[in-house]
Structures are given as structure tokens and as C-alpha cells.
């Protein structure tokens, strides 16, 4: 069993997946889980850019600085490099399933699949919303991050 490693994936890698990465880094640190963590987007339009300013502000409210994160597009190599690739919504998961190469070894799932009472739910996309929508996203990714970290700590 390889050491677990986790990649969070949304569309642009500037709103939801950086927040999931931040929440998971925080939770992994809190429980002493030493693990490789990253995030990426299925689209490359924002590659090289920092997270959306609203995502940066949301993380900052919780004492986390994500301003140095940079967006990147998911690669075929990610399916061998990471043991777990976590889609934030249904479209992200469907895109990941389509991109998964034959020799890929990553386990694909939705983030909220790891929260028993929320399995099969998507993390809502705050892109067209306001700061309160980013708060909802933060609550969702925090619930997912806690559950996923607890699960991986048992491997
Ligand atoms: P994310 O949000 O996938 O959570 O990073 C979005 C970012 C950019 C766009 C849509 C969603 N966009 O249309 O450019």
C-alpha cells in the first residue's frame, strides 16, 4: 500500500479546490497526518494564477494564507502520482473518469462521498455567488477534509 497522497480537483483551481486543499492541509497538520497534498483544475484557463480574491479572503478569515497557491491543470501523470484524486462536483468527477489513463492507479471520488450523510453530494460552485456562497463552500470543504483525513489516517 503506497503512502496516501491527495489531489483536489475543481474546474478552475482558483475557488473550490484551493479551499479544499487549505482545509485538508490544516486538518492533516492537526491530526499529525504526513501526506502529499495538492490541487488542480480540469480546465487550464487560470493556470499560473493565485486563487480568486474571494477564496483568499475566505481562507484568511480562518487564519490560513493561500495567496501563494498557483493554479494548474490536472495532468495524466497525476493519476499515477496521487493515490486519491478528489473531485469537488459531478462534472469534475466525470471529467476525471474520462481522463483516467489505463495505467492510472488513483482512486477517484467526490469530496463529500467521504462524509457519510452527504455521500453523492457536490460542493457548490461559488464562482457566480458572493462571500456568503464562499462561506458555504468553506463549510463543505471543511466537512469533507475532516472526514477524508480521518479515513486516510486509518490506512
Ligand atoms: P473553481 O471555480 O472551479 O471552484 O475554481 C471556477 C473558476 C473559474 C471559472 C468557473 C469556476 N470560470 O468560468 O472561469
Residues 19-28 pLDDT 10s: 999 999 999 9
Angle at CA 93, nearest 5°, toward 18 and 46? 40
Ligand 1 atom with the shortest distance to the CA of 16: 4
Find the catalytic residue in 38, 89, 95, 125. Answer: 125
Identify the CATH class of 5-150: alpha beta
Are 15 and 54 in contact by the 8 Å Cβ rule? The answer is yes
How much is the pLDDT for 94? 98
pTM of the model: 0.98
Q: How far is the CA of 34 from the centre of ligand 1 (A)?
A: 29
The predicted-structure confidence for 77-120, as pLDDT tens digits, reads as follows 999 999 999 999 999 999 999 999 999 999 999 999 999 999 99
Q: Which of 9, 13, 15, 19 maximizes ligand 1 atoms within 8 Å of its Cβ, making it the mutation to test the pocket?
A: 15
45 φ/ψ sector (left φ>0, alpha ψ -120 to 50, else beta) = alpha
Each domain of the chain, given as residue ranges in start order, spans 5-150
Catalytic residue check, 78: no
Catalytic residue check, 80: no
Length of the chain: 155
Residue nearest to atom 6 of ligand 1 (CA): 12
Catalytic residue check, 118: no
Q: How far is the CA of 16 from the centre of ligand 1 (A)?
A: 8
Amino acid at each position: 500500500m503506497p503512502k496516501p497522497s491527495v489531489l483536489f480537483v475543481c474546474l478552475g483551481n482558483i475557488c473550490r479546490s484551493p479551499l479544499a486543499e487549505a482545509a485538508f492541509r490544516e486538518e492533516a497538520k492537526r491530526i499529525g497526518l504526513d501526506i502529499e497534498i495538492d490541487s488542480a483544475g480540469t480546465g487550464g484557463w487560470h493556470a499560473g494564477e493565485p486563487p480568486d480574491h474571494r477564496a483568499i479572503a475566505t481562507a484568511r478569515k480562518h487564519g490560513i494564507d493561500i495567496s501563494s497557491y498557483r493554479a494548474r491543470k490536472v495532468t495524466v501523470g497525476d493519476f499515477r502520482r496521487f493515490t486519491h484524486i478528489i473531485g469537488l462536483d459531478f462534472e469534475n468527477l466525470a471529467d476525471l473518469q474520462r481522463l483516467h489513463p489505463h495505467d492510472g492507479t488513483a482512486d477517484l471520488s467526490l469530496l463529500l462521498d467521504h462524509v457519510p450523510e452527504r455521500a453523492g453530494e457536490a460542493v457548490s460552485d461559488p464562482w457566480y455567488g458572493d462571500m456568503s456562497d464562499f462561506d458555504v463552500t468553506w463549510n463543505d470543504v471543511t466537512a469533507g477534509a475532516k472526514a477524508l483525513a480521518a479515513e486516510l489516517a486509518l490506512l
